[in-house]
Amino acid sequence: MIVEAPAKLNLSLRVLRRRGDGFHDIESIMVRLPGLHDELEIQAAENDGFSCDAPGVPTDGSNLVVKALNLFRRETGSTDSWNIRLTKRVPHGAGLGGGSSDAAFTLQALNELSGNPVENERLLEIAGALGSDVPFFLGEEVAKVSGRGEKLAVCEPVPAMPVVLLKPSFGVSTPGAYKAWKDSTEIPGIAYGSQAMPWGDLVNDLERPVFAKHRMLAEMKMWLLERPEVNAAIMSGSGSTMFAVLESPDDASTVVGGALREVDPTLWSWSGWTAGVR
Ligand SMILES: C[C@@](CO)(OP(=O)(O)O)[C@H](O)COP(=O)(O)OP(=O)(O)OC[C@H]1O[C@@H](n2ccc(N)nc2=O)[C@H](O)[C@@H]1O
Ligand SMILES: Nc1ncnc2c1ncn2[C@@H]1O[C@H](COP(=O)(O)OP(=O)(O)O)[C@@H](O)[C@H]1O
Residues of the chain with CATH 3.30.70.890: 162-273
Give the model's pLDDT for residue 149: 98
Compute the distance from residue 45 Cα to the ligand 1 centre, in Å. Answer: 33
Give the model's pLDDT for residue 196: 95
Looking from the CA of residue 15, the nearest atom of ligand 1 is 30
Which entry of 38, 102, 133, 205 is annotated as an active-site residue?
A: 133
DSSP H or E segment with residue 109: helix 98-113
pLDDT above 90 for 269: yes
Q: How confident is the model at residue 41 (pLDDT cuts 50, 70, 90)?
A: very high
Task: Report the candidate in 212, 103, 115 with the shortest Cα–Cα distance to residue 150.
Answer: 103
Choose which residue among 11, 24, 174, 217 to substitute to test ligand 1 binding: the one with the highest number of ligand atoms within 8 A of its C-beta: 174
SS3 65: helix
Give the model's pLDDT for residue 138: 98
Please, which residues have CB within 8 angstroms of residue 273's CB and are 6 or more apart in sequence?
33, 34, 35, 160, 161, 162, 163, 249
Task: Report the candidate in 215, 209, 224 with the shortest Cα–Cα distance to residue 165.
Answer: 224
Half-sphere CA count of 156, side-chain side, radius 13 A: 4
Give the model's pLDDT for residue 241: 98
What is the predicted ipTM?
A: 0.98
Which entry of 8, 67, 151, 167 is annotated as an active-site residue?
A: 8
Choose which residue among 9, 28, 36, 57 to substitute to test ligand 2 binding: the one with the highest number of ligand atoms within 8 A of its C-beta: 57
54-98 residue pLDDT tens: 999 999 999 999 999 999 999 999 999 999 999 999 999 999 999
Compute the distance from residue 86 Cα to the ligand 2 centre, in Å. Answer: 12
Give the model's pLDDT for residue 179: 98
For 162-273, give the CATH class.
Answer: alpha beta
pLDDT above 90 for 145: yes
Phi/psi at 253 (5° precision): -70, -35
Average pLDDT, whole number, for the chain? 97
Cα separation, 75 vs 60, in Å, equals 20
DSSP H or E segment with residue 81: strand 81-87
Average of per-residue pLDDT across 241-266 = 97
For 2-154, give the CATH class.
Answer: alpha beta
Residues of the chain with CATH 3.30.230.10: 2-154
Task: Report the candidate in 196, 197, 264, 188 with the shortest Cα–Cα distance to residue 224.
Answer: 264
Average of per-residue pLDDT across 137-162 = 96
CA 202 remoteness from chain centre: 16
Give the model's pLDDT for residue 88: 98
pLDDT above 90 for 277: no
Catalytic annotation present for 8 = yes
13-33 residue pLDDT tens: 999 999 999 999 999 999 999
Give the model's pLDDT for residue 278: 82
